[in-house]
């Protein structure tokens, strides 16, 4: 990616959403590794903060959409405290974008629309992976994958009740 004049007062759009869209599209079309990866910081009701990486799926002037397991540590923290922050860091361009806001669950229909577009292996993974839980070993996880592959053999994988869309709106 050509980073010369990537960010200057002469080239940046005064609308931050438009500028984010420009950078995001540039990174998606570049050789950047996971340009849609974003660090998501959440906090428990007691204020214990944690951060992890999720993948951005959509964005607009209103906010940012990602998907995850509602029973994961991040899902539980978001249920307790809807304040969250995101950080996009693109080292190729030496660019980062910080976002703070409130997170809410989106509708089951929104979650289903995205879920059916995912590869079957990812759909099975949503069932098999007990995010944030300690598992005894790889064999345990492989067994869960096999169980759900058999359960949904020859038919569409249903959306798990514990998995879905979240929307971070700006505060």
Q: Which H or E run contains 122?
A: helix 120-128
- Supply 56's token pair: 């951005």
Q: Could you state, in order of their start, the residue ranges of all structural domains in the chain?
A: 16-117+159-170
pTM given for the model:
0.83
Low-confidence ranges of the chain (pLDDT < 50): 5
> How many Å from the N-terminal Cα to the C-terminal Cα in the chain?
32
On the CB side of 88, how many CA atoms lie within 13 Å of its CA?
22
- 152's CB contacts (< 8 A; 6+ apart) are 123, 124, 158
Residue 26 has a pLDDT of 87
Q: Which of 91, 101, 88 is nearest to 54 (CA)?
A: 88
- Supply 130's token pair: 């007990």
According to CATH, the superfamily of the domain at 16-117+159-170 is Electron Transport, Fmn-binding Protein; Chain A (2.30.110.10)
């Amino acid at each position: 990616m050509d980073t010369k004049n990537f960010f200057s007062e002469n080239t940046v759009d005064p609308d931050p959403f438009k500028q984010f869209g420009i950078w995001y599209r540039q990174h998606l079309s570049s050789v950047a590794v996971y340009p849609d990866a974003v660090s998501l910081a959440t906090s428990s009701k007691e204020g214990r903060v944690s951060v992890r990486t999720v993948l951005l799926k959509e964005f607009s002037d209103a906010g940012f959409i990602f998907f995850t397991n509602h029973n994961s540590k991040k899902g539980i923290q978001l249920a307790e405290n809807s304040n969250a922050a995101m950080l996009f860091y693109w080292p190729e361009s030496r660019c980062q974008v910080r976002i703070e806001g409130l997170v809410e669950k989106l509708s089951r229909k929104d979650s289903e629309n995205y879920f059916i577009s995912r590869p079957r292996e990812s759909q099975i993974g949503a069932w098999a992976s007990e995010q944030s839980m300690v598992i005894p070993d790889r064999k345990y996880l492989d067994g869960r994958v096999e169980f759900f592959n058999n359960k949904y053999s020859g038919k569409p994988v249903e959306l798990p009740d514990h998995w879905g869309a979240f929307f971070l709106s700006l505060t």
